[in-house]
Amino acid sequence: MKSFGILKNVIQPYAWGSYTAIPRLLGEASASETPCAELWMGAHPKACSLVYVEDRWVSLQDLINQNPVDVLGRHVAGKYDHRLPFLLKVLAAEQPLSVQVHPGLKQAKKGFERENSRNIPLSAPERNYRDDNHKPECICALTPFWAMNGFRSISEILKRMKCVCPEEMQRELGILREERDPGRLKRFFTALMTMEIDRRLRIIDKSMQKAEELSEYDPAFQWMRVLHHHYPGDIGVFSPVLLNLVRLEPGEAMFLDSAQLHGYLKGMGIELMANSDNVLRGGLTRKHIEVEELLNVVDFTQRSVAILRPKKRSKTEQVYAAPVDEFVLSIISVGETLPHVSGRNRSIEILLCTDGEAVLTDTAHRTNLRVRKGISVVVPAAMDVYGIEGKAVFYKASVPV
């Protein structure tokens, strides 16, 4: 493969997804009959994209296997064992997702081997590790996007927990107040996750009464109400108090490293990550939760959230910085008098048009491909310089070289 290929991608129908956002992006006239939560673009075995090549649809992974150097580039093919190292998604959350964490690379390899040795099927609901890879990720907002990312400072957690928690919870709050204990945040979180069910339900019920009264003063309490509506009795309703609450405006992004507890609440965004589907859940879900493994993976460092804004690479391309080797996300914007010309030193790229219409030109083969909103294209590393002309916006996923 030495030129552009249009992609056909899989939509994941998770229950929290929007019925309209992804269909609208794809140019469909009516809402979907099932929720459309994520559109996957890549070569993950769970949902590999198809590429239109020589008048037929072929698996992207099959094309990589046939000629990894041409498709991925020599450096990427060698470093990542003939595998595409990233996965690009459109995420459309109509309802909150589970609070979750992704393992680091060593944890993923050990966990995957351990569950394989126990003969747990990859599709089993109790499976934590579905592959042997880590999953750092970057989320860029297409609409206003609400999320939670990493633990607040203990002082901020205490301030808000004291506002809503009943006297019955003073034992747990006492753990947080013990300044001489360097592991107090982990001990506190463990106490929440292992709380006896009847006591947990009583505490949540009383806490929600106070959150209702205070919801107009702090968005953390507003989101507690929303989460309680969707997941009554779930300890995850305290997540907006424990974790940094973030609202991304369109065009803003944030990075989430492995081991960082997080959750997406509402909105539509472009998500780029290492090529993995490993998720350990910690609440706001009816799916499997394995508390012991969750506690082994989560990083309890208190941190603030850095909002990423794109930095200019050229007149037409802006880049979001992320401290990973597997991927880099950028935006390409072209206008009637502002065409884009690619560089020569490239790896594989996936382009998704999110607005407008443009013509992609393979300068070496002198062929054109017309692309409109909702169409995604794979650009193999072996392809020479290409150009984009028209009036359009593209999100580009690639591997740093």
* Catalytic (active-site) positions: 281
Write phi, then psi, for 155 (nearest 5 degrees): -60, -40
Specify whether the CB–CB gap between 18 and 96 falls below 8 A: no
Please state, in angstroms and rounded to a whole number, the distance separating the CA atoms of residues 14 and 264: 13
Q: Which residues pair with 42 in a beta bridge?
A: none
Please state, in angstroms and rounded to a whole number, the distance separating the CA atoms of residues 348 and 61: 13
Instruction: Output DSSP code: residue 379.
Output: E
Specify whether the CB–CB gap between 351 and 358 falls below 8 A: no
Q: For residue 191, give every residue at least 6 positions away whose Cβ sits within 8 Å of its Cβ, in sequence order, or none.
A: 171, 172, 175
- Between the two ends of the chain, the Cα-to-Cα distance in Å is 20
Structure tokens at 330: 């950028």
Please state, in angstroms and rounded to a whole number, the distance separating the CA atoms of residues 369 and 378: 12
Please state, in angstroms and rounded to a whole number, the distance separating the CA atoms of residues 387 and 348: 15
